[in-house]
Amino acid sequence: MTWEPTIIAFCCNWCAYAGADLAGVTRLQYPSNIKILRVMCSGRVEPGMVLKCFENGADGVMVLGCHIGDCHYKIGNRKAEARVTDTKRLLALMGISEERLLLKWISASEGALFAETGRDFVERIRALGPLKGGFK
């Protein structure tokens, strides 16, 4: 049996989650090993949440939110940007590749971009292999 990565996607309710929904409605293919967690805003995703995903077996984590300037909470995506930067520093200190964490802006009308991002990220994590050491 071939190893498949486990991916967690934190999706902003207003944009990225709606983009994921559009991908599904229009039958755009993206890997089934992406587990979507809807959050009201990407800015609510804290470093501890991402680390908990890795601790619980995720091989990669995506934080997907509204485009800069389009956040329903004004500065939530700017907060997400800062938090992901901080989290990447923590991952590096722990010996975990920063490539296992992705931040991307996806609007409600970008179902194709959601599907493409998911496929590309799964391929990136597949190339890195299973997360070893640290959490697993």
In tens, the pLDDT along 42-62 reads 999 999 999 999 999 999 999
The domain segmentation of the chain, as residue ranges, is: 7-128
Name residues whose C-beta falls within 8 Å of residue 134's C-beta, 6 or more positions apart in sequence.
54, 94, 95, 96
Q: E strands of 29-136, at which residues?
A: 34-39, 60-65, 101-105
Q: Report the top-level CATH class of 7-128.
A: alpha beta
Alpha carbon dihedral 61, 103, 11, 24, in 10-degree steps, equals: -90
| pLDDT for residue 132 is more than 90 | no
Alpha-carbon distance 73 to 39, whole Å? 13
How many percent of the chain have pLDDT more than 90?
A: 94
Alpha-carbon distance 35 to 58, whole Å? 10
pTM of the model: 0.95
Judge contact between 24 and 115, C-beta under 8 A. no
Q: Is 78 exposed, middle or buried (0-12, 13-18, 19+ CB in 10 A)?
A: middle
Residue 133 pLDDT? 56
Report the pLDDT averaged over residues 88-92.
97
Alpha-carbon distance 93 to 119, whole Å? 28
Distances in whole angstroms, Cα of residue 124 to Cα of each of 7, 15, 76, 88, 107: 11, 24, 27, 16, 22
Report the pLDDT averaged over residues 78-105.
97
Alpha-carbon distance 98 to 86, whole Å? 11
